[in-house]
Amino acid sequence: MATNSKKRSALGKGLSALLENADTDITSKSSGTGIVGSISTLAIKSIEANPFNPRTNFEKEALEELSTSISIHGIIQPLTVRKLGRDKYQLISGERRFRAAQLAGLKEVPAYVRIANDQAMLEMALVENIQREDLNPIEVALSYERLLEECDLTQDQLSQKISKSRSSITNHLRLLKLPAPVQAGVKKKEISMGHARAIVSAGDEATQIELYERVVAENLSVRDIEAIIRGEAVAKKEPTPKVAKPEITENEYVFKEHLGDQLATKVDIKKSPNGSGKIIVNFSSDVDLNRIMELLNRK
């Protein structure tokens, strides 16, 4: 029982906790240094993609820009792999960096080598994906569903693993009951998760789609949706004119990706029409925030 409890605790913190666990690290064992967290340099041709990665689509332009950054700065944050056999490895995390490194023509990449069976691989990939990636609510819901079904977890166990409330998990899973057009609207950020949660309660599939189309066309709020469901009249609104957001330059994008690799988290640059803006460093928990703070304090 103690072993299972320890495993749940580590997975709940994501891969960062597992990287500090000597029981899952064979890099130090193979090197003989006895230092957990040692990094190996592996031939890129000896590494295969992670079949359990929840992310299957990688934007071509973003990969090319990251590839340019890697060509200039190299890979700052090592990949994490598991050893399959002699000179054969499989990715646990870092597939975007791995693909970009291939585009950049790298022959070798830095990597941590871990021990993980297929069950652990799936859990680690899904948990890391949920905590570290900027996922839309539908992608989060699909990851929750896979953890529940393929890893045979209860919602309470999942709640402990990812440090999210059970109600948050339930609310995300309900989104998967929406018709495909509505789910697509959530993915494209045409409607918020609040809108989607309200539409779930609207009735049959045709009613849900009709209400979704009204939300987009009439710029309805969540309260408007709830009023419509109650049978109350809602005044038609004029669509809010969209103000074009300033796009970041190529140099700014390369900097953003480079900083994200250094901190092992997602970094965003938000710019306003007047030239002001902010750099946003994302973190998934207090532990993750402390890790980032320690990295920045070393600079």
Instruction: Using alpha carbons, select from 229, 221, 267, 234 the residue that is nearest to residue 248.
Output: 267
Predicted confidence (pLDDT) per residue in 141-150, tens digit: 888 887 787 6
Rounded Cα distance between 153 and 280, Å, is: 33
Predicted confidence (pLDDT) per residue in 83-122, tens digit: 887 788 888 778 888 888 999 999 999 888 877 666 676 6
C-beta separation of 130 from 122 below 8 A: no
Read off the pTM: 0.48
pLDDT at residue 294 greater than cutoff 50: yes
C-beta separation of 211 from 227 below 8 A: no
pLDDT at 28: 43
DSSP letter, residue 25: B
State the average pLDDT for the chain.
76
pLDDT at 12: 39
Element containing residue 29 per DSSP (H, E) = helix 27-31
In Å, how far from its chain's centre is CA 24? 22
pLDDT at 244: 60
- Which own/partner pairs from 182-190 qualify as long-range (CB within 8 Å, at least 24 positions apart)? 182/208, 182/209, 182/212, 183/138, 185/212, 185/216, 186/136, 186/137, 186/138, 187/136, 187/138, 187/139, 189/136, 190/216
pLDDT at residue 137 greater than cutoff 60: yes
pLDDT at residue 5 greater than cutoff 60: no
Percent of the chain's residues with pLDDT above 70: 75
pLDDT at residue 140 greater than cutoff 90: no
Cite the active site residues.
95
Six-digit token string for 190: 């045409």
DSSP letter, residue 79: E
Give 212's pLDDT tier (boundaries 50, 70, 90): very high
Question: Of the ranges 53-67, 98-112, 269-283, which one carries the lowest mean pLDDT score?
Answer: 53-67
The dihedral through the CA atoms of 135, 57, 156, 266 has a sign that is: negative
The residue type of 199 is I
SS3 33: coil
Decide which of 37 and 278 is more confident.
278
Burial class (CB in 10 A: 0-12, 13-18, 19+), 283: middle
Which residue in this structure is represented by tokens 């990715």? 91
Identify each DSSP E strand in the chain by its residue range. Answer: 40-43, 47-48, 79-85, 88-93, 108-114, 267-271, 277-281
